[in-house]
Amino acid sequence: MTRFTLAYIEKILPLLWDGMQVTLLLTALSLVGGGTLGTVLAVLRLSRSKPVALFAAAYVNLFRSLPLILLIFWFYFLVPLIVGHPVGGFYSALTGFILFEAAYFCEIIRSGIQSVRRGQILAGLATGLTYRQTMRAIVLPQALRNMLPVLLTESINLFKSTALVYVVGVRDFLTTAGMVGTRDNTFVGMYVLVALVYFVLCLGASLSVGRLQRRYAL
């Protein structure tokens, strides 16, 4: 059995870094995709047209009632059926993350916009600004400041959730560590190390979000 020493960690570090890059890439792509789709959904949910708003609400409620793992498996089977050839775990998991996170981002953005008091919009319109100008110059800057901490916290959650790609064998940080741990019979140390790395990164990030929130709160 290989000893779990500093020298050993140093030896496997490049492998772990490869895994971490996959984790970070998956997080970044899901953030961009989920954020974009979530913004569109939020606009639809606030639309004056009832069917449009209902559609967006149904989307959000459906995706929020499903376990993320189920969605990852869904697309693991579904995406190859649609495109006609296997696409691998990464792209199917990415699809699942984007669609799933969009539902959560939609709700955050919507409540951010709704957190701006109605009087602000009315005042904007009364000063002669158009609806579009009011949104851009008055509502959105305030909404963004209100929702930024929640958006960042959700991003940290997403970062943690990407570890779930383990179930479809994508070689992210956790999967890589698990594979190395099984190969060298060092899985006890490996899993503790993985937990430690996630803990330090997420705690650091959430402490920074807290500091940011105190500084920029309206």
Amino acid at 31: L
CB of 132 to another protein, least distance (A): 26
Query: Are the C-beta atoms of residues 23 and 163 closer than 8 Å to each other?
Result: yes
User: 73-112 mask for another protein (x: CB under 8 A)?
Assistant: xx--xx--xx-x----------------------------
**Binding-residue pattern over the window 191 to 210 for another protein, x denoting contact by CB under 8 A:** xx-xx--xx--xx--x----
Whether the CB-CB separation of 30 and 162 falls below 8 Å is answered with yes
Query: Would you count residue 167 as binding another protein (CB under 8 A)?
Result: yes
- 140 vs 163, beta carbon nearer another protein: 163
173/160 Cα distance (integer angstroms):
11
Alpha-carbon distance 30 to 93, whole Å?
10
- As a whole number of angstroms, the distance between CA 174 and CA 27 comes to 14
Asked if 175 contacts 151 with a C-beta cutoff of 8 angstroms, the reply is no
* Minimum gap (Å) between residue 80 Cβ and another protein: 10
| Residue nearer to another protein on the CB measure, 125 or 157 | 157
Q: For the stretch 107-128, what's the b/e string if a residue is b when 16 or more beta carbons lie within 10 angstroms of its beta carbon?
A: bbbbebbeebeeeebeebeeee
| 217 binds another protein per the rule CB under 8 A | no
Q: Verify binding: residue 216, another protein, rule CB under 8 A.
A: no
Chain contacts with another protein (rule: CB under 8 A): 62, 65-70, 73-74, 77-78, 81-82, 84, 160-161, 163-164, 166-167, 174, 178, 187-188, 191-192, 194-195, 198-199, 202-203, 206
